[in-house]
Structure 1
Amino acid sequence: MSTLEKSLNIIELLAAKPGGLSVSAIAGKVNQPASGVHRTLNELIRLGYVRQVQDQGDYALTMKLAALGVGFLGRTGVGDVAQPILDRLAQASGELIRLSVIDGDDLIWVAVAQGATGGLRYDPGQEQGVVVHLASSAGGQAWLSAMSDEEALERVSRQGLIDSSKPTGPGAPKTIAELLTVLAETRKRGYAVSIDSYIVGMAAMAVPVFGNDRVISCLSIAGPAVRMTPERMKELAPHLEQAAREIGMSATGSRYFPGLHKRT
């Protein structure tokens, strides 16, 4: 494993642990010697990416990496293109709206809008920049449904049918056959539906966003499953599809919609 890969493994681990971790805990989770982890952390401290919470205490990321990410997204123009559309859809639906973009083989959440102003609502708060688990999420299933079954299974095999980073709900596909059935139903329905799948108690619907006949991103509506029923999703489908069309038509305003996947 290269020095760069070791450093990135530590950064990715600390990104999921904002409260910080000890050297021994980091070493155990990234499967590296504690002495080497200590040297890497000192170098990351020197570069401004890591700080020690207190003397002889845990290590945590600084805001430098987050600031770079926010600045990058701002300069791509994703927010300028999509945010007004997301805000309108959030107001119309009263639920959480999420936009994900295709980055190589990954689908990554980059923008959100919250329509629920009080009471029961789904509001994860830290999903921007997170790689979407394709098999268990509505956004991922929407993207997969725009591919052939062969390509969809190839992408799922790279990432894993089961999300190893967190527990999924009972509604998540557990076999390849179940996933293929979900994708066939998604194509027939016109939008993906995920209930008690990505997170227990949460339901979501999603569609791929097309630009120049290519999938460039995915758009979803998510909320508590008790409110996001199949009947409610059917009512929201025209609003979701219209917003996706608007984003697709406006995508030429941003260099961050490369349209990497041809429509099948």
Structure 2
Amino acid sequence: MTSDESSEATRYRAPALDKGLDILELLAASSMGLTQAEIAKGLGRGANEIYRMLDTLVRRGYVTRTLDGDRYTLSLRLLVLADIHPPRRRLLDAAEPRMRAFSARAEQSIHLAVMEASEVIISASFSAPGNWRMSLRVGSVIGLFNTGSGMVLAAFQRPDIRARIFRDHRLVPGESALSEADYEARTAAIRAAGNMSGESQTTVGVLNLSCPILDPFGNAIAALTCPYLRRIDSYATPGRDQTLALLREAADEIAREVMGPPHEPAQS
């Protein structure tokens, strides 16, 4: 960011809004609720500094107080707002044109997977434009441990969510269980690489390329996967590396449209 861009961003900051969002994000990470003092400590602010903001959030219904009045918890109001604007439809509206463009440019199939109750579900799919294709049916429930989509979705989650996915996942036909140690090692390697690239564990001759679609905090809301088929005749198509770059570009564009830019901590 240039100095002019930095000064422009600073000029239009809304400190009170930043403070309120910081409180909501802190409470969202707490399962038991927090006292006013704990919130102030967690944000590095004085208790009196956040009192009015907390009072407003309670009055507007975004935060509730426990019966004894000592602790604050996040209400379900944000969930209600999310339901008014269905997130799945918003995700598909952003993803489908970019998936179609990827398929045309890479000449490969592509599918979008999401996690629901520790199951990996195909939400959208586009077949390669040529004669040869490998694609998955929309609505299919696929494996967690033996698919690029499943492992990418698990890898880019908070540790507690990743552990819950491992614990609650039900194996699909043909899928073998992983030990918790192998699961953690593989997901750590995927996080380090930023994507997953490897031979399919369900079909011979397919190279799975998978990229996460990340929320502003680095958690995967979906995964884009290309079941890459390499041509061995004289017809030239994008290679593996170029295809992976196109897939990463599509995932990043979808994330920006759905979730906005990466999260930056608010400045005081």
Opposite residue 218 of structure 1, the aligned amino acid is A
Equivalent of residue 123 in structure 1, options 130, 135, 149? 135
**Structure 2 CA distance for partners of 1:77 and 1:184, relative to 1, 3 Å:** closer
User: Match for residue 245 of structure 2?
Assistant: 238
> Can you list the C-alpha shifts for 1:117-170, whole angstroms capped at 9, x where unaligned?
113x3134xx2112332111101111111125554243123214xx442x25xx
Q: Secondary structure at the match of 1:142?
A: helix
SS of the residue aligned with 1:98?
strand
In the alignment, is the contact (CA less than 8 A) between 1:142 and 1:192 conserved in 2?
Answer: yes
Partner of 1:222: 227
Give the match's secondary structure for 1:107: strand
1:189 corresponds in structure 2 to: 193
Report what 2:142 is aligned to.
132
| One-letter amino acid matched to 1:180 | E
Shift of 1:104: 4.3
In the TM superposition, 1:164-203 aligns within 5 A as: 164-165=172-173, 167-168=174-175, 174-203=178-207
- Is residue 214 of structure 2 the alignment partner of residue 210 of structure 1? yes
- Counterpart of 1:19 in structure 2 is none
Contact 1:206–1:220 (8 Å) recurs in 2: yes
Q: How does 1:53-92 map to 2 (within 5 A)?
A: 76-92=89-105
Could you say if the C-alpha distance between residues 156 and 199 of structure 1 is closer, same or farther in structure 2, counting changes exceeding 3 Å?
farther
How big is the shift at 1:240?
1.3
Structure 2 CA distance for aligned equivalents of residues 155 and 137 of structure 1? 14
Give, in whole Å, the separation in 2 of the partners of 1:190 and 1:244: 12
| Mapped pair 1:251 → 2:255 | no
1:144 equivalent among 125, 142, 154:
154
* Distance apart, 1:249 and its partner CA: 1.7
Secondary structure of 1:244's match?
helix
- 1:77 Cα deviation after fit: 4.6
* Stretches of structure 2 lacking an aligned partner (at least 5 in a row): 1-85, 233-237, 261-268
Give the residue type in structure 1 aligned to 2:96. Answer: Q
2: CA distance, partners of 1:105 / 1:134: 8
Which structure 1 segments of 5+ residues have no match?
1-72, 254-264
Q: What corresponds to 1:56 in structure 2?
A: none
TM-score (norm 2): 0.53
1:80 aligned partner, one-letter code: D
Q: Residues 164 and 106 (structure 1 numbering): CA distance in 2 closer, same or farther, change over 3 Å?
A: closer
1:93 to 94, 106, 113: 106
Letter in 1 for 2:224: L
> Which whole-Å CA distance do the structure 2 matches of 1:225 and 1:135 have between them?
24
1:197-221 deviation digits (Å, cap 9, x = unpaired): 1434432111111233243211111
Sort the Cα spacing of 1:143 and 1:164 in 2 relative to 1 into closer, same or farther, 3 A.
closer
Q: Cα 1:76–1:96, aligned 2, differ >3 Å: closer, same or farther?
A: same
Change (3 A) 1:78 1:153: closer
Give the TM-score normalised by structure 1: 0.54
CA distance in 2, matches of 1:135, 1:193: 14
In 2, are the aligned partners of 1:133 and 1:159 still within 8 Å (CA)? Answer: no
Sequence identity, in percent?
17
Deviation at 1:192, TM superposition (A): 1.3
What is the distance in 2 between the residues matched to 1:241 and 1:98? 13
Aligned length: 168
Alpha-carbon distance between aligned partners in 2 of 1:96 and 1:219, rounded to the nearest angstrom:
11
Deviation at 1:89, TM superposition (A): 0.9
Describe the SS at the equivalent of 1:100. Answer: strand
The Cα RMSD (Å) is: 3.1
Equivalent pair of 1:135/1:156 in contact (CA under 8 Å): no
